[in-house]
Amino acid sequence: MIVREARERPLSWPERRKQIPSWSMPFFAIEWVWEWTAFLLSRWAFVVVLEYLGSLSILVAVFFYFHDSGNRVKQRHYQAWQVINTAQGKGGSGGRIEALQELNEDGVPLVGVDASGAFLQGVHLGKARLLRSDFSAADLRNSDFKAADLQDSDLHSANFRQSSFEKASLFGARMNDSDLQGTNLSGADLSGAMLDNADLRFAIMNNTNWSNIRSIKGANLFGLRNAPNGFLQWSVKHGAVQVESDEQWERSTANQ
């Protein structure tokens, strides 16, 4: 709301001259001209209308800004998907880390996303819906997949060193030949997962659901931490090994 105060009528020039020293006359003369200009404009209705129109234009701009917010979000999502799809099948990041994180933060499902062979080190995709996604041969070291849904995803030959899959669903995931060294799999669901030749050295498996793992032949479980009861015995029985060095691992799998 515009509140206008009535301007007092300025003094006439003869009256004004009596109040100022002669040496400062030019400076006060200019000030006196502007006082009268402001007084006359304040009495002009057109200027008042312009002030109201200025305030109204601000309100209109604010209204359209919020009214169009949905379209801006859609445009942002479209651009993020464009980045992901354009870089599909290529190495490097290509802006995909930021694009994937932005979509996930906005609650957009990432079902079937293809980031195979990408460099996505340190990506944060906690609680992401990544069913049937493809991260095969991607570099995802030090990444966050806490509570993410990766059911039936292709993760083979990917590098997940020091990443977190706490409480993630890896139901039916293809994780053969993947590097899971130092990975946190606490509370994760590995039902139906394929872990053949996976590197699980020093991984954490506290309360991991492993009872229905599909296959684990050739996987390296050396230094496994917080392994569930019976898991190591079952794994070795089904072809897993526990060796420290890569050379020993290669020899042991070659003899199987």
Tell me the C-alpha distance between 84 and 86, whole Å.
6
What pLDDT does residue 155 have? 98
Report pTM: 0.72
Greater pLDDT, 132 or 93: 132
CATH architecture of the region 93-256: 3 Solenoid (2.160)
Q: Measuring CA to CA, which residue among 176, 191, 170, 155 is closest to residue 253?
A: 176
**How distant is the alpha carbon of residue 56 from its chain centre?**
37
Tell me the C-alpha distance between 82 and 64, whole Å.
26
Tell me the C-alpha distance between 5 and 156, whole Å.
75
Q: Cα torsion for 202, 205, 209, 211, to the nearest 10°?
A: 50
pLDDT in tens, 223-252: 999 999 999 999 999 999 999 998 889 887
Tell me the C-alpha distance between 155 and 133, whole Å.
8
Cα atoms found within 13 Å of the Cα of residue 78, Cβ hemisphere only: 6
Greater pLDDT, 65 or 173: 173
> For tokens 């039936």, what's the residue?
152
**209: β partners:** 189
pLDDT in tens, 190-203: 999 999 999 999 99
Tell me the C-alpha distance between 57 and 62, whole Å.
9
Q: Are 162 and 182 in contact (CB under 8 A)?
A: yes
- pLDDT higher than 80, residue 157: yes
What pLDDT does residue 1 have? 46
Q: Are 207 and 187 in contact (CB under 8 A)?
A: yes
pLDDT in tens, 55-95: 666 776 666 556 555 577 888 899 999 999 998 888 888 89
Task: List helix spans (H) across the chain.
Answer: 13-17, 25-42, 45-67, 69-86, 96-105, 231-237, 246-254
